[in-house]
Chain A
């Protein structure tokens, strides 16, 4: 294998070489590198970097005489750039800090590595989630199409799925798009290879693959005539499925899969990069063609399809949106019964995927930047202490003619070198953190699994390091550059005197305390919000409930009676299990997301236009479901075995539809299910939240002896730990039908907790940041006070000699520390209140400016700062006046 010398090193060195010497020096290095690389490439690379660094620190300086003798290189070549020369000499001096003050350098680098590392880790997530484009060709032209539903019936809902007829009209009439494709999701049961397996598939319309510009890695995607019902038994599989189920067989296209009991021919295998986990349409293992019948195409009222489209090149989003609006208005006039109030819109795919996470990430980035600022303040403090200790050296430099700018530049270079080292260490830390954390975060933040260190992250580290170096170094450098030459030299051998840089130091404490307070406040509010969410009354009792999902395939359970029989038998057997108190079925459990929303009409009243007709969440439920979930029965009765169809309505649904009248005994119509059949309302139940942080939607529970579909969730209330029942519950299903896959077996507690992941994640990160901040701030307070006490040893000694008691000295030092802390708390409180606006939309059940939390946080900081001051104060009190004054 051929090894080339690191290009960056050669480029850097080349920059610092006089042009007429470049060939010889770089050639020599490359030559020696190659001969060294034969034995060990990595050692050769290390060697070359060492040579480069030395070459940069001590550039080649051709002598004037030498040049004259050869008539070659110009004598002034190396001196033409005095600024660079002084920078390089400063760099050389700065590099020596690692030798001269290793513990100082280590402390600074460690603090900065923490700060920069945390920032880099968060930034790389932000980079992956918000900044990096999707892995599709020209992803910014991909948009999702939606209906905008009438706000009177769907209050607060911004977007809605499409109906086939409306989609087809949009497709026919719009001119802004290259193409658009409808898709939806469905489940399949895969059989024929061991245990039955439940698989998700995306059912994709014609042009779907063309729009995302994806081609099969093996075989092909669908051809147009496969989108007709008779020809649609074909499937495209994902790379992962190909590897896991077909052993990556090259002859996979042409084989068949048994899905829901029918043979589907594999026509293609998609490449791995096509499977973007964050976009549901590309995440499943299977894609099958969407094949609408004429009857399907005519459906205008039922909105069940998603759509993706590619904007024509050069067409701005706004133009496409207004075109969809115009078409929708025309459709409203043409089909007022179905379409009144339904508009249309297009949203960039990346917006849809990233969604609400942006606020969260921006907040975290801001929080982690505060940590870095605190780290800067700490490091600035350390550098200042060092600079003050070196005032004599600096004064001598000044006496020898170094201007203030020169001293400033020299000290700044030192902090830049330290920051660069901190940046490198931080980058390594961040890489480790990303490796460990990305998979943890992946389920909570779309695309977070793609987080990695790329060019943009490197650029971020560079910028963060330089900025940190300047921030941390500028104040001390300026302060040191101002040192009065005369005074300093006159002070003779006496080291630190009180007052030198004291103001700057106090300002640094103020900054640290203020920033820490803001972070602590954020963490505190997040924790309280999490607590509030965990204790919200969702309207049902999640404790001791086990749930599982079953989807009966149509091939074996085609008749409603077959489905009813299956679930009746299953519930009977489950209830007979020891430890089971109750069991019930429903199509969508609370807080799991999704579920049907439909208009509902009270019998005897006229059906309003869709835009004005009230809608309710409709849940298909069995008898005992509400009792199993402990949803309170307010009035009336539960479903009974004699019912053919019956309704339970939630309190808010009762209010919405009947106002103050009593709904029990009345009848209602769900037009999307049947325009003719009115169903009896038999009882009123309590409201149940669909999302913990949101008000319960009006809900009705529909019991139907003829189950219209086979996919239901089973809830089982147990008398002890529900997870223990997992195995026997699954066994009960398989005892009836061994071919049936059982999915998503989990406790309801776990399901609820899962909905809190992003809150938990935010709270956890903020806690870590706040703890880091608190630690850094207390270290900062401690070191500043120690320094001040050291400087005031004489004064304290004299006080003690004159009769000051231990308590007096303690108080003196403690107050010294408390003053800047109090100022910091005041400033921090103001900052926290200002930042509360950003936080407000991320918290629930507590105000982001909650005064109680603010108070607790302020007191915590005060106590921490007292604790940090105690040791220096104690040392001061213990000073022996005799020793001190003799010194």
Chain B
């Protein structure tokens, strides 16, 4: 349905996931993204939630994915890597600017005293 294919505003968790993918570069796969979010935002999310979101973002055309080779560390299982597509970068930039401009001048009130 055409009216749904237009990427809408990003959700809060979607932003975290996209930042994670961007930050990890070539090493962006589920567990790494999960740990990155946990380490930086303190949100200990389930791996299922990460993949559900990754899959949805890929469906919106913001991400692309490819499969890696099986490794012993993973019990002989493959990794699924993700990277941002140009629309993904654009969407993330919009979201980030939106937050930043909304927060502009409020830093003093938001910082812990």
A25 and B30 in contact, given A30-B74, A51-B46, A55-B46 (Cβ under 8 angstroms):
yes
Q: Is A51 in contact with B47, judged by CB distance below 8 angstroms?
A: yes
What is the chain A residue whose CB lies nearest that of B29? A28
With a cutoff of 8 Å between Cβ atoms, the chain B residues found around residue A62 in the complex are 51-52, 55
Q: Is B73 in contact with A66, judged by CB distance below 8 angstroms?
A: no
Name the residue in A23, A34, A58 with the highest tally of chain B Cβ atoms < 10 Å from its Cβ: A23
Can you list 8 A-B pairs, Cβ within 8 angstroms, ordered by A? A25-B47, A31-B71, A32-B31, A51-B47, A58-B49, A63-B52, A63-B55, A65-B60
With a cutoff of 8 Å between Cβ atoms, the chain B residues found around residue A30 in the complex are 73-75, 77
A60 and B48 in contact, given A27-B74, A32-B31, A70-B65 (Cβ under 8 angstroms):
yes
Q: Which of B29, B31, B51, B57 interacts with A60 by CB under 8 Å?
A: B51
B interface, over-half SS: helix
A24 and B51 in contact, given A30-B77, A31-B74 (Cβ under 8 angstroms):
yes
A27 and B48 in contact, given A65-B59, A66-B59, A69-B59 (Cβ under 8 angstroms):
no
Q: Is A67 in contact with B59, judged by CB distance below 8 angstroms?
A: yes
A272 within 8 A of B: no
Q: How far is the CA of A58 from the CA of B46 in the complex (A)?
A: 9
Q: Is B46 in contact with A26, judged by CB distance below 8 angstroms?
A: no
Q: How far is the CA of A809 from the CA of B93 in the complex (A)?
A: 74
Q: Size of chain A's interface in residues, with CB distance under 8 A?
A: 31
Q: Is B47 in contact with A55, judged by CB distance below 8 angstroms?
A: yes
Q: Is A24 in contact with B77, judged by CB distance below 8 angstroms?
A: yes
With a cutoff of 8 Å between Cβ atoms, the chain A residues found around residue B47 in the complex are 25, 28-29, 51, 55
Q: How far is the CA of A63 from the CA of B54 in the complex (A)?
A: 10
Name the residue in A21, A25, A27 with the highest tally of chain B Cβ atoms < 10 Å from its Cβ: A27
Q: Which of A26, A54, A58, A70 interacts with B77 by CB under 8 Å?
A: A26
Q: Is B73 in contact with A34, judged by CB distance below 8 angstroms?
A: yes
Bitwise, A10-24 to B at CB < 8 A (1) or not (0) is: 000000000001111
Q: How far is the CA of A320 from the CA of B70 in the complex (A)?
A: 61
Q: How far is the CA of A68 from the CA of B58 in the complex (A)?
A: 10
Interface residues in B29-62 by Cβ distance below 8 A to A read 29-31, 34-35, 46-49, 51-52, 55-61
B100 within 8 A of A: no
Q: Is A31 in contact with B46, judged by CB distance below 8 angstroms?
A: no
CB distance from B51 to the nearest CB of A (A): 5
A24 and B78 in contact, given A32-B35, A58-B48, A69-B61 (Cβ under 8 angstroms):
yes
A interface, over-half SS: helix
Q: Is B75 in contact with A27, judged by CB distance below 8 angstroms?
A: yes
Q: Beyond the given A5-B75, A25-B47, A63-B52, could you list 17 further A-B residue pairs with CB under 8 A, ordered by the A residue number?
A: A23-B77, A24-B51, A24-B77, A25-B30, A25-B48, A27-B75, A27-B78, A28-B31, A28-B74, A29-B31, A30-B75, A32-B31, A34-B73, A62-B52, A62-B55, A66-B57, A68-B59
On A, residues with C-beta under 8 Å from B are 5, 21-32, 34, 51, 54-55, 58-70, 73
Q: Is A24 in contact with B48, judged by CB distance below 8 angstroms?
A: no
Q: How far is the CA of A822 from the CA of B55 in the complex (A)?
A: 64
CB distance from B9 to the nearest CB of A (A): 16
With a cutoff of 8 Å between Cβ atoms, the chain A residues found around residue B79 in the complex are 24, 27-28
CB distance from B66 to the nearest CB of A (A): 10
CB distance from A576 to the nearest CB of B (A): 82
Q: Is A25 in contact with B59, judged by CB distance below 8 angstroms?
A: no
What is the chain A residue whose CB lies nearest that of B65? A70
CB distance from A24 to the nearest CB of B (A): 4
What is the chain A residue whose CB lies nearest that of B49? A58
CB distance from A503 to the nearest CB of B (A): 45
Q: How far is the CA of A58 from the CA of B56 in the complex (A)?
A: 16
6 A-B pairs with least C-beta separation? A27-B77, A66-B59, A65-B59, A28-B31, A27-B74, A66-B55
CB distance from B77 to the nearest CB of A (A): 3
Q: How far is the CA of A63 from the CA of B59 in the complex (A)?
A: 7
Q: How far is the CA of A24 from the CA of B60 in the complex (A)?
A: 20
With a cutoff of 8 Å between Cβ atoms, the chain A residues found around residue B30 in the complex are 24-25, 28
Q: Is A31 in contact with B34, judged by CB distance below 8 angstroms?
A: no
Q: How far is the CA of A495 from the CA of B5 in the complex (A)?
A: 49
With a cutoff of 8 Å between Cβ atoms, the chain A residues found around residue B48 in the complex are 25, 54-55, 58-60
With a cutoff of 8 Å between Cβ atoms, the chain A residues found around residue B71 in the complex are 27, 31
CB distance from A449 to the nearest CB of B (A): 40
With a cutoff of 8 Å between Cβ atoms, the chain B residues found around residue A70 in the complex are 58, 65
With a cutoff of 8 Å between Cβ atoms, the chain A residues found around residue B29 in the complex are 24, 28
Q: How far is the CA of A73 from the CA of B60 in the complex (A)?
A: 15
Q: How far is the CA of A133 from the CA of B8 in the complex (A)?
A: 67
Name the residue in B4, B30, B35, B79 with the highest tally of chain A Cβ atoms < 10 Å from its Cβ: B30
